[in-house]
Amino acid sequence: MNFNEIAKRCEAGRLTESKDFLMKSVAANAMKLGKEYDITWDGKTFLNTDDDMADRCFQAGRELFINTGIYSMNSSRVVQFSKREVDDALRFIRPQVAMGAGKDRVFIHHRQVEDARKPFIFCGPFNANVHEDMFVRLNEVFSRERIVDCLFFPGYLNEVDGQLIRPTSALATRMAILYGQWAREAVRRGGRPGMAIAGHAVMAPGEIACTHEEWGLRSTDPRAMVLISELQVDDVTLTRLAYYQAYGCPIYMAFTPLVGGYGGNVAGTSVVAVASFIASIMLGGEIVHIGPQHMKYKQQTNQHSLFLASLANQAVARNSNIIATTSHTTSGRPGSAQYAYEFSALALTAVTSGSNVSGPRPAEPLGNNNVSPLMGKLFAEVAHAAAGMSREQAAPIVEALYEKYKDNLDLENAPKGQPFEELYDLNTLTPTPEHQALYDQVKQELADLGIPLV
Amino acid sequence: MADAEQIYEMMRKSIQDYDSDAAVAAAELAVAEGLDLLEAVEKGFANPIRELGEAFDRMEIFLPELTLGADAMKAGVAVLEKALNEQGGKLEKKATVVVGTVEGDIHDIGKSVVATLLQANGYEVYDLGVEVPAQRIIEAAESHNADVIAMSALLSTTMLYQRDVIELLTNKGIRDKYFILVGGAPVTQAWADEIGADGFAHDAFEAVQLLDGVMEGRGK
């Protein structure tokens, strides 16, 4: 749909309070439609294998979206769409999007359930605070990993010279410019000058300033927007959307359905997730990211989230051309084996369910630079290995992995991990022998469990 | 005529059924029957809403049910409190809390769960919403004579404003009037210590436990 029409509806839709939208519209409809379409979860299954339920979930999500629309948080108005508008938008989705430039140009595709094509890999210091002194070097190492298709969220710069940055300040805009310059410099140093860089600089109001074809983020770089749970959008996101659409950037739209939140249980939240996929498309999203979040665990590899990721992804993979990608948010942190067990469990689930992959990231990174490009490489290798596996093959491996980390889901108890500067030799920008040994050991364990890693 | 236990049971059921109308009807009956209204609040509404909160923590119920249950409790307690005030009595609250998500941050859900569970556990709560500037948080705390300021931030950049509130309170010479609680995804105990907050909670349940301990210590 034309962005102008969306922006107009944000000013002209039905006026209502946020709580009423969430409770009377989203929650009430999600629960009702979940029952009507018989969307269920037995509390035991890790990975959905019921195609008919995936199809019903898509229909329920479509109906939910048509009933509820999207809530504009700043104007307090509901943006609604007709059935025809929704079906037209779904019909005209482009199943392939290009990003990056020159020899570094790559394509992301819509994937089918159990698709043999390798998933697209978004990988980088996702969600981590990255210190200005380490920003370029750390991102350079990510870009050197050839298996990574797109440098993903080069990290949050939230201080400069020890000064914390207020998000709407001039300093925030200055840091957004540096973010663009340094991210571009990092991929140049990595030998991939046209490599796509996806993300946002967190200081959203001034972030447009990091756009520059020579030194910053380009029209060939996907720009990430985030919907607020559930089915809500704010003016900052719409402002960025207006600019990046006009500038020609691929639009990467993310949402995080909350199990236990306004969607209720896993079934209801799966319906909300499908509605959010469709909402993302209506707003102009071309790549749609689901973060199967959980209210209690605050991460995405718990059993509820695994099933949600499988069901919602299968619903859109089977019934639309939406290009989906799934974020991987773990309790364990980089530098621990648990981190790898968790992202592997979700990657197997997501990839066999028709998704591409984004991540991994710890839900609660500790301090600056709590990231590992080597673990990013392993994540990508697992995701590639999952391509072509059946859900029946993947499910017991997911369960075996879950058994390894289920008692350490609590963020307090989860392994603390280590920062980049302890996992890598900063002179050579290579993993320390200990970190390399961890990678070798975990990769062997994953292979022994049945993941076809080469 | 219904006896006290029957009326308490009606109140309990109204919470379990998430039924505000039934909660009001049961509360009106309690007033009409001349029950001990403080006991009615505790046995009829406070206990079942706490049970509902525990069920939420176990993920046996979810946010919509918790919200509807809390709405029912508020509707019922409002009837009892009005009658109590007319009788010259007063419903004692554990403490008065102003809660909000700081400036520049539009995330609402975590903060709303904190507000709901604090209310369910006997606190008087003023929910200021999201994107609340430091000055407004302080004005609200002052005007409601609050004991606690609770601030949420979901972004590593917006947590900076938690520090600003404390700094502004200090500059005004009123920092020590308040117990300051901070939370939100990027917030840690180390951050709470760095900015001089009094407490940090990972989630709503920890927030309630922490404040219960503090208020008990203060003898409130």
Mean pLDDT of A113-139: 95
Strand order through the sheet with A70-72: A14-15, A77-79, A70-72, A232-233
Q: Is the residue at A41 inside a domain? A: no
Q: Is residue A161 predicted with pLDDT exceeding 90?
A: no
pLDDT over 70 at A30, yes or no? yes
Q: Decide if pLDDT at A22 tops 60.
A: yes
Question: In chain B, helix, strand, coil percent, each to 5?
Answer: 60, 10, 30
| Res A203: pLDDT | 66
**CB contact (8 A) between residue A412 and residue B202:** yes
pTM comes to 0.94
Query: Same domain for B109 and B188?
Result: yes
Compare CB distances from B156 to A156, A166, A412 and report the shortest one's residue: A156
Q: Which residues of B touch A (CB under 8 A)?
A: 56-57, 59, 62-65, 67-68, 104, 106-109, 113, 155-158, 160-161, 163, 185, 188, 202-203
Asked if the peptide bond before residue A360 counts as cis, ω within 30 degrees of 0, the response is: yes
The enclosing domain of B108 has a CATH number of 3.40.50.280
Q: Is A198 helix (H, G, I), strand (E, B) or coil?
A: strand
Q: Residue A26: what pLDDT?
A: 97
Is residue B220's pLDDT more than 60? no
CA distances from residue B138 to B114, B168, B178, B204 in whole angstroms, order as listed: 19, 8, 10, 22
Residue B134 has pLDDT above 60, yes or no: yes
Nearest chain B residue (CA) to A130 = B156
Give pLDDT, residue A443.
98
Same domain, B101 and B9: no
Do B72 and B105 belong together in one domain?
no
Output the pLDDT for position A367. 87
All residues at 6 or more sequence positions from B69 whose CB lies less than 8 Å from its CB, including other chains: B15, B16, B18, B48, B49, B52, B61, B120
Query: For the residues A324-353, what does the mean pLDDT come to?
Result: 98
Candidates A296, A303, A366, A370: best to mutate against B (most CBs of B within 10 A) is A296
Residues 6+ apart with CB under 8 A from A276: A227, A230, A231, A255, A257, A290
Kindly give, in sequence order, each residue whose CB lies less than 8 Å from that of residue A262, ignoring residues fewer than 6 positions away: A22, A23, A26, A27, A30, A229, A230, A272, B63, B64, B109
Mean pLDDT, rounded, for A379-395: 98
Considering only the beta carbons, identify the residue of A167, A304, A364 that sits closest to B104.
A167
* A interface test, pick of B18, B52, B54, B62 with most A CB neighbours within 10 Å: B62
A contacts of B202 (beta carbons < 8 Å): 411-412
- The reported pLDDT for the residue numbered A202 is 66
- Residue A440: the pLDDT is 98
In terms of C-beta distances under 8 Å and separation of at least 24 residues, what long-range contacts does A106-111 make, across chains too? A106/A149, A106/A150, A106/A196, A108/A149, A108/A287, A108/A323, A108/A325, A108/A356, A109/A323, A109/A356, A110/A317, A110/A320, A110/A321, A110/A322, A110/A323, A110/A324, A111/A317, A111/A323, A111/A324, A111/A351, A111/A354, A111/A355, A111/A356
Q: Which two tokens stand for residue A303?
A: 């059993």
Range list of β-strands (E), A299-401: 324-330, 356-362
* Amino acid at residue number B33: E
Mean per-residue pLDDT, B117-129: 91
So what's the pLDDT on residue A207? 85
- Chain A nearest-CA residue for B107: A228
**Which region, left, alpha or beta, applies to residue B131 given φ > 0 means left and ψ of -120 to 50 means alpha?**
left
Domain assignment present for residue A22? The answer is: no
CA–CA distance, A283 with A224 (Å, rounded to integer): 12
Structural domain of residue B15, as residue ranges?
4-86
Does B91 map to a domain? no
**Would residue A113 count as lying in a domain?**
yes
In 3D, which of B200, B181, B96 has the Cα closest to residue B140? B96
The pair phi, psi for residue A386, each rounded to 5°, is -75, -20
Q: In the prediction, which pLDDT does B109 show?
A: 87
User: What is the arithmetic mean of pLDDT over B202-217?
Assistant: 90
Residue B203: which pLDDT band, with cuts at 50, 70 and 90?
confident
Residues from chain B contacting residue A363 (CB–CB below 8 Å):
185
Flag if B62 and A364 touch (Cβ within 8 Å): no
* B-chain residues near A228 (CB < 8 A): 106-108
Domain match, B79 and B108 both: no
Which residues of chain B does A270 touch, with a Cβ-Cβ cutoff of 8 Å? none
Same domain, B204 and B105: yes
Tell me: pLDDT of A343 over 60.
Answer: yes
Assigned token pair, B30? 């309690």
B31 occurs within a structural domain:
yes
pLDDT band at A99 (very low <50, low <70, confident <90, very high): very high
Nearest by Cα to A326 from A314, A335, A341: A314
Measure in Å the smallest separation between the Cα of B111 and chain A Cα atoms: 12
For A40-57, what is each residue's pLDDT tens digit? 999 999 999 999 999 999
* Chain B residue with minimum CA distance to A363: B185
The three-point CA angle A416-A421-A427 to 5° equals: 160
Per-residue confidence band for B135, with pLDDT thresholds at 50, 70 and 90: very high
Q: What CATH number did the domain enclosing B62 receive?
A: 1.10.1240.10
DSSP of A52-103: HHHHHHHHHHHHHHHHH-EEETTTTEEE---HHHHHHHHHT--SEEEES-GG
The structure tokens listed for A422 are 């302890």
Q: Tell whether A404 is covered by a domain.
A: yes
In a domain, A42, yes or no: no
- CB contacts < 8 A (A, B): 76
Q: List the single residue in A with minimal CA-CA distance to B203.
A: A296
Q: Is the pLDDT of residue A364 over 60?
A: yes
Residue of B109, B202, B203 with shortest CB distance to A229: B109
Query: Which are the contacts of A341, defined by CB distance < 8 A and separation ≥ 6?
Result: A332, A401, A404, A405, A442
Q: What are phi and psi of B131, to 5 degrees?
A: 50, 50
Q: Is B22 found in the same domain as B123?
A: no
Run of H or E residues at A5: helix A3-12
Q: Does residue B180 share a domain with residue B109?
A: yes
Domain of residue A101: give its range: 96-117+199-449
ipTM field: 0.88
From the list A31, A203, A228, which residue is nearest B107 (CB)? A228
Cβ atoms of A203 and A175 within 8 Å: the answer is yes
Per the prediction, chain A carries an average pLDDT of: 95
Q: What is the dihedral of CA B210, B215, B218, B220, to 10 degrees?
A: 180
Regarding predicted confidence, which is higher, A414 or B218?
A414
Shared domain check, B62 and B128 = no
Residue A2 maps to a domain: no
A153, A166, A174, A240: which to substitute to probe chain B, counting the most B Cβ within 10 Å? A166
Per-residue confidence band for B219, with pLDDT thresholds at 50, 70 and 90 = low
Residue A79 lies in a domain: no
From B86, B110, B144, give the residue that closes a domain: B86
- Is there a single domain that holds both residue B101 and residue B210? yes
A204, HSE (Cβ side, Cα atoms, 13 Å): 21
How many angstroms separate the CA atoms of B186 and B157, rounded? 9
Residue A423 has pLDDT above 60, yes or no: yes
Tell me, yes or no, whether B113 lies in a domain. yes
Q: Which of B156, B161, B162, B206 to mutate to test the interface with A (most CBs of A within 10 A)?
A: B156
User: What's the CATH code of the domain at A328?
Assistant: 3.20.20.460
The pLDDT-based confidence of B106 (bands split at 50, 70, 90) is confident
Decide if A114 contacts A391 (C-beta within 8 A).
yes
> Average model confidence (pLDDT) for chain B?
92
Asked whether residue B146 is domain-assigned, the answer is yes
Task: Using an 8 Å CB-CB cutoff, list chain A residues near B162.
Answer: none
Closest-CA residue of B relative to A268 is: B62
A184 touches A216 (CB < 8 A): yes
Domains: count for chain B: 2
Cα torsion through A296, A299, A305, A306, rounded to 10: -140
- Report residue A453's pLDDT band, with 50, 70 and 90 as the boundaries: very high
What is the spatial distance between Cα A385 and Cα A405, in angstroms, rounded to a whole number? 21
Nearest to A73 among B68, B106, B157 (CB): B106
Contact across the interface for B106 and A264, Cβ inside 8 Å: no
Q: What is the mean pLDDT of residues B53-72?
A: 91
Domain contains B116: yes
The phi and psi torsions of B46 (rounded to 5 degrees) equal -65, -45
- Distance from C-alpha of A265 to C-alpha of A273, rounded to nearest angstrom: 12
CA-based nearest residue in chain B for residue A411:
B202
B30, B52, B86 — which closes off a domain?
Answer: B86
Q: Which chain B residue lies closest to A30 (C-alpha atoms)?
A: B64
Number of domains in chain A: 1
Please check whether residue A252 is in contact with residue A224, taking contact to mean a CB–CB distance below 8 angstroms.
yes
Give the whole-angstrom CA distance, residue A397 versus residue A3: 43
Contact across the interface for A234 and B67, Cβ inside 8 Å: no
| Residue B108 and residue B70 share a domain | no
On chain B, the residues whose CB falls within 8 A of the CB of A68 are none
Measured CA to CA, the distance from residue A118 to residue A277 in angstroms comes to: 22
Distance (Å) from the C-alpha of residue B156 to the closest C-alpha of chain A? 7
pLDDT given at position B1: 59
Q: How far apart are the first and last CA of chain B?
A: 37
CA A417, A420, A424, A426 dihedral sign is negative
pLDDT band, residue A420 (cuts 50/70/90): very high
Q: What is the percentage of chain A residues whose pLDDT exceeds 90?
A: 90
Contact at CB, B157 and A412, closer than 8 angstroms: no
Residues B148-182 pLDDT 10s: 999 999 887 889 899 999 999 999 999 999 999 99
Q: Which residues in chain A are closer than 8 Å to B56, comparing Cβ atoms?
A: 260
